[in-house]
Structure 1
Amino acid sequence: MPLETLSRIQRPPRLSEEVSADLEARIQRGDYAPGAQLPTEKVLAETFGVSRAVVREAIARLKADGLIETRQGSGAFVTENPKSLNFRLSASGESALLHIFELRTMVEATVAELAARRRTDADVEVMRQCLDRMEVALSSEADGSEADDDFHLAIASATHNQYVLRLAEFLGRQFSESRRMAWVDHPRGMESPREAQREHHLMLAAITAGDPAAARQAAHVHLRGAAERVGIDLPNDLGGISPKK
């Protein structure tokens, strides 16, 4: 369909969500068929009257939802079966973001605990290599989000439970872009990923020591810290440590 028919979005709040919702509706209606390529980032920005950063966030949301895939050097394409998704996470507003962090905390704390019970030396080495890659990124102020994603997946893999790993892979797709933004676009520069890295080391130490309780608490520390860095205060009833005063 002609791009000129796409509605321009004028309302300033949460522009990326509105752009992604508009594109999602068109995908679900079949305006963009499975396998079809979306317009370029530049064209979408001009069409919707928003910045390219807003378009990138919208594309990242659609990718996390499994509606599109991006190909290096080629652009964004609709997935082959976008209507098959029954469960997706959409952090639309502070309340939804809080609920997602609650979900992450419940899942990732238990995963870390189980990993501490079952990890092998090989599992620990994979986690350590992920942290080493993040250290290199920190030292050069580069994007270490891929290593960040891999670290969390390595913890899930250390449970030696294929369903835990599949769930972690799903959640990882949802949060990959938020981790990337923490590395690249955070207003505090590299301090945010440095704080996260300190928390990662606590998690690795507990898992390496085979201490399930410490691993669970370290995961709580990390998730509470991650939430606070985006302005979310997790409730006390999730367990783990108390919030910072």
Structure 2
Amino acid sequence: MPKPVYQEIYQDLKRRIEAGDIAYGAFIPSESELTRSYSCSRSSVRRALAQLAADGHVQSQQGKGVRVIRDPSLDVTRGYNGLETFTEMAERLGFTPHTRCLTLERVTADEELAKQTGFPIGTKLMRALRARCADEQAVSTDDSYIPESIASGLTPQIVENGIYRYLEGELGLGIATSRRIITVEAATDADRNNINLGEFNAVAVMRSHTFDNEGLMLEYTETRQRPEFFSEYSTVTRTQR
């Protein structure tokens, strides 16, 4: 399934901003220039710019244009940067990644699991629990639930090679957005068994509901991460009064 045009524009502009090709503080090309450059409609450009603004990369200046407000030099050095895979994060940060599949099983969402994941009661799901290692040190776990109707072909090897690589590359699914809740919680026995916590007695926990290009939820994941390894870059907007 090909990505919508606005997603391709968004991804390209985001890459150029994060690479510094469009400098921090500079104005990006006008809507007219972008429509010509990408051979697309003005509505596609506007959707891409709206997503960049929501991500904290740009801000519209009335009567002037759209200014870049993301400074790549201030980017965090750890943690997830956007909706990226562990392998993509390893490439960005320069460590050697390794994933171990701890559990792969079929489950049915009961009342408790439905409340946790957001999938309706009775939904048949594939659960994949894996440990993430950076340079041979276990730094986090990802516990994911995906509808069996999508991911029935998952195997431990596919899980270790990358679930998103399978969903996007093999199944052609478009993964678009993720809604996240981040907390800091006391480490559990499972955390101590699966993560090299060292001196830490707590973990950073990110609970994510991920949606495809059609706005349908395709995954719930609970990531539990060694605090030293975790950070989150975000931009918030105050309502103008």
**Same fold, TM exceeding 0.5?**
no
TM range (shorter): 0.3 to 0.5
Compare the two structures and name the one with the higher strand fraction.
2
Q: Could you state the TM-score of these two structures normalised by the residue count of structure 1?
A: 0.34
Question: What is the TM-score normalised by the length of structure 2?
Answer: 0.35
Higher helix share: 1
